[in-house]
Structure 1
Amino acid sequence: MSDAISVKELTKKIINGDSVFILDVRNTGDFDDWKIEGENVEVINQPYFDLLEGIDPVMDKLPKDQPIYVVCAKGGSSEFVADQINEEGYENVYSIEGGMKAWSEHLEPVKIGEVAGGSIYQFVRIGKGCLSYFIESNGEAAMVDVNRMIEQYEDFLNEKDAKITHVFDTHLHADHISGGKKLAEQKNAAYYLPPKDAEEVQFEYEKVRDGDEYKIGETTIKALYSPGHTIGSTSYIVDDKYLLTGDILFIDSIGRPDLAGKAADWVADLRETLYQRYKELTDDLIVLPAHYMTIKEMNDDGSVSAKLGVLYKENHGLNISDEDEFRKTVSENLPPQPNSYQEIRETNMGKVSPEEEEQREMEIGPNRCAVR
């Protein structure tokens, strides 16, 4: 019989740079759209239905000298295939528990550094490229861009013995369902959202405006209005040391301005934010985005961050001097719209309340918030 490996264990291996071989047995279309990736990850695809009678179709592709990890959509088919591989004499064969569904939902906390009286952590949603943040000082805490899997945050909070007082969303998300409002309600904390993104929101929230400051223990969080990805997009400066950019600026790309159908209107806002508002900030600020596009943006410790000054030298999206060329770049180099993005926006507005399994299906697939 084959063994099983959790997505948490697999995530550790990928972040550590271990050599990982994966056999993905989903349909080829699903595989081509979204797969497990990593610096030292080799992944091949052979649909489950091709392997019902045996593993001959992949026999010559399987390594003899390293573990084999088999993944499917939810974990059932991969167990069957992993057992078949094991029966053919291969050792160290593992089925990935929960499949790509579990991979999509795992959050890996990575410590970024210190703040006054405490620390800041980044939660890496490695299966989707989402990044969220925990800022703690003297027992008080704030969270930014929370994903819907709030149980994982709650487990972390219990370990840290911290009380959540503030929950922020940098903007109204369109690629994933926010857990911010739900977490705030459960922890009796205030939930903050930029009002320009919230005109259709169906619930009460605290309005965030440019220049507002919030105290978390000894730490100061300052709001910086930074439109372009959405009309309300707001960044947060933490202790004049960290810049949480939401989906405006990434490590290797910039935010797309079209997820609400307003690309032509918002391109100028995006350029003003990137080429003026951010330019006025100190180069030493550590940029902490809400997403990353590829594993190449990840640092050796698994975090996703870089100094603002470095990005102004190396990020192509910050170095397009001609305005017409910039407009063309952000309007013609866009990946497909995120899966179910309009339904996700309406869920985040409180207009609809899908069941949990439907929410999972809505989020399936990679992050698509950036200009290529």
Structure 2
Amino acid sequence: MTTSSLTAMTAQQLTKKILDREELMILDVRNTSDYENWRIEGGRVEVVHIPYFDLLDSIEPALELIPPGKELLVVCAKEGSSIYVAEQLIEAGRTGVSYLQGGMKAWSEYLEPVKVGDLKDGGELIQFVRIGKGCLSYMVISGGEAAVIDAVRMTDVFERYAKERGVVIKHTIDTHLHADHISGGRKLAINALAAYWLPPKDATEVTFDYVPLEEGSSITVGSTEIAIQPIYSPGHTIGSTSLIVDGKYLLSGDILFVESIGRPDLAGKAEDWVGDLRTSLYTTYRALPEELIVLPAHFGKMTELGENGVVSARLGDLYRSNPGLNVQDDELFRAAVTKHLPPQPNAYQEIRQTNMGRLTPGEEEQQNMELGPNRCAVHDK
């Protein structure tokens, strides 16, 4: 058997193809439940699903479904099964075949940095798109310093980017206690000797020290003093706190997304927090300038990615287009965000405990805990 024509495609290369809207066919060979729960989407990607065990005796089922001449990427959980299937396809005469290096685990962990826009006096705001998981992190850069907001656990990405830009990370901030992914904020702060900010109402059970992220305080980044202004906006969690950066950008955490709104049930208190959610969205946010650019901590659908992959929307536009902001009846709103919700994120209780410092899972366990879509929004992915 020869593998001379078999190549690996990295998660970074796959991301570029999706964002550039290049044609690509994917053969996903994971089991049916994993595929139906979470798969690669977006751009001009076409996906065919055939479980690996259905291809062990013969590669013919794949050959029948996949037209010759198309660029083909074979995908599995970790890469082993996809290498085997890709080799079989090449043996059968197919060309342009590659496999996803590191499989869906690598896809889940890749972050693509994209520039959101310029800030005053030469500063910049960068969004890190975790395209396979739907998480969004941010870096505010100004005057040789940086603040990282809602960092994911792959802290080396932020450290490397800061080094490339010649800036020092001075602050890390979590807008709330996350339940869908393991936060990298505290680890990043320790490594960088930076301040770690967390809303105190979400921190009643944490086992570590932090700086309270409270409305009325102001965090500055760099000598140009680009202010990060916290705004208390509970509902997704009791402590959820949004940030206004430079008077131009609203980092909404998991309260407001481009196509949906945050769910209030991940701490088991949906009935208690639904009123807070409505107040945050229909009163607190409604009083803010419509020109603010909303930058959420997650996206639920690939359609939310805009130009160059940036996930953003003007606040005033969302009050016209986002269904979650247009339910005028209180009881209808309560029903919409407490009943018929999508499944909760994988291992979300363990993830919450980890983010409190009460669990210390190893690296492989952390990877497994985070597999699957984020599901922080009212809509399903």
The letter for the 2-side match of 1:62 is I
Helix, strand or coil at the partner of 2:46: strand
Q: CA deviation at 1:65?
A: 2.4
Partners of 1:141 and 1:164 within 8 A in 2: yes
Residue of structure 1 in register with 2:46 after alignment: 42
Residue of structure 2 in register with 1:262 after alignment: 269
Map 1:5-44 to 2 at 5 A. 5-44=9-48
User: Structure 1 length as normaliser, TM-score?
Assistant: 0.99
The letter for the 1-side match of 2:137 is S
Residue of structure 2 in register with 1:104 after alignment: 108
Distance of 2:27 and 2:148 partners within structure 1: 36
Identity %: 57
Partners of 1:142 and 1:216 within 8 A in 2: yes
Partners of 1:215 and 1:221 within 8 A in 2: yes
Helix, strand or coil at the partner of 2:263: coil
Q: CA deviation at 1:44?
A: 1.2
Residue of structure 2 in register with 1:57 after alignment: 61
Q: Deviations over 1:247-304 (max 9, x none)?
A: 0000000000000001000000000000000011111100000000010111031110
The letter for the 1-side match of 2:335 is K
Match 1:131 to one of 136, 150, 174: 136
Partners of 2:146 and 2:162 within 8 A in 1: no
Helix, strand or coil at the partner of 1:153: helix
Question: Aligned-residue CA RMSD in angstroms?
Answer: 0.8
Worse-superposed segment, 325-334 or 52-61: 52-61
Residue of structure 2 in register with 1:291 after alignment: 298
Residue of structure 2 in register with 1:67 after alignment: 71
Map 1:86-125 to 2 at 5 A. 86-116=90-120, 117-125=122-130
Distance of 1:340 and 1:9 partners within structure 2: 29
1:351 matched to 2:350: no
Q: CA deviation at 1:153?
A: 1.4
Unaligned runs of 5+ in 2: none
Distance of 2:22 and 2:166 partners within structure 1: 33
Q: Deviations over 1:298-335 (max 9, x none)?
A: 10311100000010000010011000000010012311
Helix, strand or coil at the partner of 2:378: coil
Q: How many residue pairs were aligned?
A: 372
Distance of 2:288 and 2:307 partners within structure 1: 26
Distance of 2:109 and 2:319 partners within structure 1: 32
The letter for the 2-side match of 1:78 is S
The letter for the 2-side match of 1:97 is Q
Partners of 1:16 and 1:300 within 8 A in 2: no
Q: CA deviation at 1:118?
A: 1.1
Partners of 1:192 and 1:205 within 8 A in 2: yes
1:277 matched to 2:284: yes
Q: CA deviation at 1:57?
A: 1.4
Match 2:174 to one of 159, 169, 174: 169
Match 1:198 to one of 191, 197, 203: 203
Distance of 2:213 and 2:90 partners within structure 1: 56
1:142 matched to 2:118: no
Q: CA deviation at 1:206?
A: 0.3
Helix, strand or coil at the partner of 1:44: strand
Q: CA deviation at 1:6?
A: 0.5
Q: Deviations over 1:147-179 (max 9, x none)?
A: 001111111111111101110000000000000
Partners of 2:342 and 2:375 within 8 A in 1: yes
Q: CA deviation at 1:40?
A: 1.2
Distance of 2:49 and 2:309 partners within structure 1: 26
Helix, strand or coil at the partner of 1:301: helix
Helix, strand or coil at the partner of 1:293: coil
Helix, strand or coil at the partner of 1:280: coil
Match 1:366 to one of 368, 373, 378: 373
Residue of structure 2 in register with 1:226 after alignment: 233
Q: Deviations over 1:173-229 (max 9, x none)?
A: 000000000000000000000000000000000001112111112211000000000
Q: CA deviation at 1:53?
A: 2.3
Partners of 2:250 and 2:293 within 8 A in 1: yes
Partners of 1:247 and 1:369 within 8 A in 2: yes
Residue of structure 1 in register with 2:341 after alignment: 334
Q: CA deviation at 1:39?
A: 2.8
Residue of structure 1 in register with 2:251 after alignment: 244
Q: CA deviation at 1:37?
A: 0.5
Distance of 2:70 and 2:142 partners within structure 1: 44
Q: CA deviation at 1:64?
A: 1.4
Partners of 2:153 and 2:183 within 8 A in 1: yes
Distance of 1:326 and 1:29 partners within structure 2: 32
Worse-superposed segment, 12-21 or 170-179: 12-21
Q: Which runs of 4+ in 1 moved over 3 A?
A: none
Distance of 1:63 and 1:235 partners within structure 2: 48
Residue of structure 1 in register with 2:316 after alignment: 309
Partners of 1:226 and 1:235 within 8 A in 2: yes
Partners of 2:250 and 2:295 within 8 A in 1: yes
Worse-superposed segment, 231-240 or 32-41: 32-41
Distance of 1:55 and 1:300 partners within structure 2: 39
